[in-house]
Structure 1
Amino acid sequence: MKQLLMVFLGWVLGFAVCCAVAIGQESAKPAEVLPQFETRVHAEGESKLPYRLLVPKDYDKAHAWPLIIWLHGSGEIGDNNTAPIRPLGSTFLADKKRCPAFVMVPQCPPGDSWLGVGLNKPAEITEASRLVIATIAELRQEFNIDDRRLYISGFSMGSCGAWDLLSRYPNLFAAAVHIAGPPGDRPGLAPIIKHLPLWVFHGDRDNTAPVESSRTIVAALKEAGSNVKYTEYRGGGHELARPLAEPDLLPWLLAQQRTEPADFTQQTVPDSASLITKTLPDKTRGTWKGPAERTRHAVPSLAIDNVRYRLKAASHAKPGVEEFLTKIGQKEFNGNVQLTGTIELTKQAWILVEEIEAK
């Protein structure tokens, strides 16, 4: 279980690094990709959330219409307002004829994520996710949207973000769809969201997100009394096409409806339902040994007590430290090291390395 948790946290914490290298990082104007989606931006001062909006084919203000929110994975982080809709082209989410609902596809800005991981304490809602909620509220003012039928869905990081929003707004959404993105180690989450209709999808050979975590939350939900639906694809990897092609998914989703209007009040999330990484205290100085590894985003790292710390040279590092760390990041070195440094806790856990040697 500890090994699984470390893999999951390493995957989640990598999102912030991915923000800097995501394919959608360029600031070009959107190309004519899926032009049925309107190009929009929600702005609050200097905070901006690009998003695309699919308006139902037969929209009529006289009737209330459901709204589906789709949260993309880490590969689409950026600000071009195009990357998040590219994978949706052949799905019902991009088809006005098949989908009688609004579809909102926001793009997580560079440097942010759909969910935060708290270091030794619960994380606050990320700015990107806060803006998603604000955009939903704004759309309700512009269109006749049925706030008893707001649906949250997502893939990979987007699915993780959807779990996080459910924990903070358990009475906002009518249903949720999670694809290849488990919530992580949150034993207190199931009782909070057991009343919600949920459909979880995962491939049993997903090498990016651990399927065991999806199995764990589904089991916890069922034990809590939830009617959660779970589809696991034998031989399936990290993919969204197959779940979105399920013929029963859209009818099931649109059939879900809250008995009460949506509640936009953010709830306090208990520690047991939060994603918290227990690290060494900030400013701890010490010497540690272990296998140095490169993260999936080419950052050198070292695991201490099942928590992976990213490595960077201290301002007063000995000669050769920066070069050694570069070799780890470029996979030119793969082995055990001994290093001395100081813990630095920001959005992620770092060690400011003063000296390092192979062991």
Structure 2
Amino acid sequence: MRNFIYLSLLCGLFFLSCSNDQDDNIIINQNDLESLPIDTGGVQTAKVIGSTNAIYGHYIYTPSDYNNASPNYPLLVFLHGSGQVGNSQTNPDVLTNLIYTGPPSMIEQKKWSPTYPMIVASPQLTSGSWNADDVHSFINYLISTYNINTDRIYLTGYSLGAYGCYSYISKYGADSYARAIVPIAGGGDVNSGNKYTTTAVWAFHGGSDNAVPTSRSIDMVSAINASNPNTKAKVTIYPGVGHDSDTRTFDGTGMNSESIDYDAFNMDIYDWMFLYKK
């Protein structure tokens, strides 16, 4: 089964290489992923503020065979939107707000089945916006606490969380931990395109988004590509879709509904992430 999946990924890679004239950092050798135990259903655990040394309260998902002696796993960090803000130190129940969308929601619904296992961390803001230094500190905490393959750290976010993805790379650039990011319905600093040289970017947005203009994603991707990154940034637009472009991207149901004027939604976003490695 793994061999079939691997061949499927290679077919996707071939398609990408034919459709993208600059994708220098794609990793064909995925032995570090092939050697990981198959995830038959892991555990997502709530960690309220103060229960760990992390700067955020968070959910942490570890695959089924994960233990202290496990090999190093890829890490996916999910940054939520403004509707999921909460202080779990004063009200532990608000941590469940994170189940609203994204990987933590898919895990809770038992719909989480990426090709290869990942540790998934979903931090929660107590207020305000995502701060790049705090995100970096949180990832440092995760690296020091779990068996993480630091060559395979990925970042995704929705709305406010998408802004957080861009903010993190715009601040840290090549010193960031993230090898690839998937920002959904967000935007960033178009003057920071040169910070994305070594980070792959695939943005998604609804074409009729009245909360965050679609142009925010398009302009950010254009700014990144104007700086000639190692991997050309992509943007996928869903015609007629508003701000709710999140679920269809996270679970892949948006495939074949995207605009032909922008980048095709031609593979699972997690398989796309796995193509990239430090």
**Which residue matches 2:141?**
138
SS in 1 for 2:137: helix
Cα distance change on mapping 1:137 and 1:95 into 2, 3 Å: farther
Aligned residues: 209
Aligned-pair CA distance for 1:47: 9.1
More helix by share: 2
Structure 1 alignment gaps of length 5 or more:
1-34, 115-125, 259-359
- Distance across 1 between alignment mates of 2:70 and 2:200: 28
Alignment of 1:89-238 (within 5 A): 91=106, 95=111, 97-98=113-114, 100-109=117-126, 111-114=127-130, 126=131, 129-170=132-173, 171-172=175-176, 173-183=178-188, 186-226=189-229, 227-238=232-243
Alignment of 1:47-126 (within 5 A): 49-60=56-67, 61-79=69-87, 80-88=94-102, 91=106, 95=111, 97-98=113-114, 100-109=117-126, 111-114=127-130, 126=131
- Distance across 2 between alignment mates of 1:228 and 1:175: 10
Could you tell me the TM-score, scaled by structure 1's length?
0.53
1:248 to 268, 275, 278: 268
- Aligned partner of 2:122: which letter? V
Cα distance change on mapping 1:200 and 1:92 into 2, 3 Å: farther
- Aligned partner of 2:145: which letter? E
Alignment of 1:317-328 (within 5 A): none
SS in 2 for 1:177: strand
**Which residue matches 1:286?**
none
Partner deviation per Cα, 1:186-211 (whole Å, 9 max, x = no partner): 34211111331111001110000011
- Distance across 2 between alignment mates of 1:70 and 1:108: 12
Cα distance change on mapping 1:253 and 1:47 into 2, 3 Å: closer
Cα distance change on mapping 1:67 and 1:225 into 2, 3 Å: same
Asked whether the 8 Å contact 1:51–1:106 carries over to 2, the reply is yes
Cα distance change on mapping 1:96 and 1:219 into 2, 3 Å: closer
Cα distance change on mapping 1:132 and 1:187 into 2, 3 Å: closer
Aligned-pair CA distance for 1:85: 2.0
Structure 2 alignment gaps of length 5 or more:
1-41, 88-93, 253-266
Give % identity: 28
Aligned-pair CA distance for 1:255: 2.3
Aligned-pair CA distance for 1:95: 4.7
SS in 2 for 1:195: coil
SS in 2 for 1:81: helix
Cα distance change on mapping 1:50 and 1:62 into 2, 3 Å: closer
More strand by share: 1
Asked whether the 8 Å contact 2:81–2:159 carries over to 1, the reply is yes
* Residue 274 of structure 2 corresponds to residue 257 of structure 1: no
- Aligned partner of 2:249: which letter? P
Asked whether the 8 Å contact 2:43–2:63 carries over to 1, the reply is no
Aligned-pair CA distance for 1:37: 1.5
Aligned-pair CA distance for 1:234: 0.9
Asked whether the 8 Å contact 2:44–2:107 carries over to 1, the reply is no
- Distance across 2 between alignment mates of 1:105 and 1:47: 12
Cα distance change on mapping 1:41 and 1:137 into 2, 3 Å: farther
SS in 2 for 1:168: helix
Aligned-pair CA distance for 1:142: 2.0
Cα distance change on mapping 1:132 and 1:217 into 2, 3 Å: closer
Instruction: Flag the structure with more relative contact order, 1 or 2, with Cα contacts below 8 A and sequence separation at least 6.
Output: 2
Could you tell me the TM-score, scaled by structure 2's length?
0.68
Cα distance change on mapping 1:160 and 1:81 into 2, 3 Å: same
**Which residue matches 1:14?**
none
- In angstroms, what is the RMSD of aligned CA positions? 2.7
Deviates more, 1:35-44 or 1:73-82: 35-44
- Distance across 2 between alignment mates of 1:192 and 1:135: 21
Cα distance change on mapping 1:78 and 1:134 into 2, 3 Å: same
